[in-house]
C-alpha cells in the first residue's frame, strides 16, 4: 500500500475526498427541514437530524436525551418535548446530541444514524405516530435524495442545482446493467 501525502493509504485518501464532496453537496443543495411544534427535523441518505429549540440559558445539565435503536426522547428543564417510536431503526453507537447556537437561537441537535442507508429509505415522518413531513416537504426531500444518490454515484459532477423531474420517489430509477 502506498502513502498519499498526509494519508496512510490511497483508500483513506479517496474516502476523505468523497466525504468532502458530499459535505460540499449538502452546503450547495441545502437542507430540507420539516417543521414541528418544538423545532424541526431533516434527513440525508445516511442520517436524520432533529433540532429542538431551547431557551438561550439552556446548559447540558438541563437536557436529557435518550437514544435507543427504535425510539428517542428529549426533555428540557424536565419538560418532555417528545418520547416516541422512530419511523425506522437507527445505530445508537453512532448517534449523538449537542447543544448549539446559530443566528441568536439555541437548540439541541440530535444526530441519528440510519440503519438502512439507501436512497429508497426516505423517512416520511420522524416518528411512527407524529411529525410527518407535509406533502411538499416530502416531495422536496425525495428529490434531494435522488440528487444525493447521483452525486455519490458520480463524484466528479455537481448535482446540487439539478432540476429533478420524472420518477424520483423511492430513490429514483433502478438500473441493472449486466
Model confidence pLDDT, tens digit, residues 48-60: 999 999 999 999 9
Task: Check whether 99 has a pLDDT greater than 70.
Answer: yes
3-state secondary structure of 53: strand
Adjacency order of strands within the sheet including 47-54: 34-35, 39-43, 47-54, 105-114, 90-102
Instruction: Return the C-alpha cell found at 35.
Output: 417543521
Model pLDDT for residues 1-40, shown as the tens digit of each residue? 333 344 444 444 444 444 444 455 566 567 899 999 999 9
Higher pLDDT, 5 or 132: 132
- CA 116 vs CA 36, 87, 119: distances in Å: 24, 12, 9
- Residue 28 in contact with residue 19, Cβ under 8 Å? no
* Whole-structure pTM value: 0.79
| Angle of CA points 101, 111, 18, to nearest 5° | 100
- Rounded to 10 deg, the angle between the 135-153 and 10-29 helix axes is 150
Amino acid at each position: 500500500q502506498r502513502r498519499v501525502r498526509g494519508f496512510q493509504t490511497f483508500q483513506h485518501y479517496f474516502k476523505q475526498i468523497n466525504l468532502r464532496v458530499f459535505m460540499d453537496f449538502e452546503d450547495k443543495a441545502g437542507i430540507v427541514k420539516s417543521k414541528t411544534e418544538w423545532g424541526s427535523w431533516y434527513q440525508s441518505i445516511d442520517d436524520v437530524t432533529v433540532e429542538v429549540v431551547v431557551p438561550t440559558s439552556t446548559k447540558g445539565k438541563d437536557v436529557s436525551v435518550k437514544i435507543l435503536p427504535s425510539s428517542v426522547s428529549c426533555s428540557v428543564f424536565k419538560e418532555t418535548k417528545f418520547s416516541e417510536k422512530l419511523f425506522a431503526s437507527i445505530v445508537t453507537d453512532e448517534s449523538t446530541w449537542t447543544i448549539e447556537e446559530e443566528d441568536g437561537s439555541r437548540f439541541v441537535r440530535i444526530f441519528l444514524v440510519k440503519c438502512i442507508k439507501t436512497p429508497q429509505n426516505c423517512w416520511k415522518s420522524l416518528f411512527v405516530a407524529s411529525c410527518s413531513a407535509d406533502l411538499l416537504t416530502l416531495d422536496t426531500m425525495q428529490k434531494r435524495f435522488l440528487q444525493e444518490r447521483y452525486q455519490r454515484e458520480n463524484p466528479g459532477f455537481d448535482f446540487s442545482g439539478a432540476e429533478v423531474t420524472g420518477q424520483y420517489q423511492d430513490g429514483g430509477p433502478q438500473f441493472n446493467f449486466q
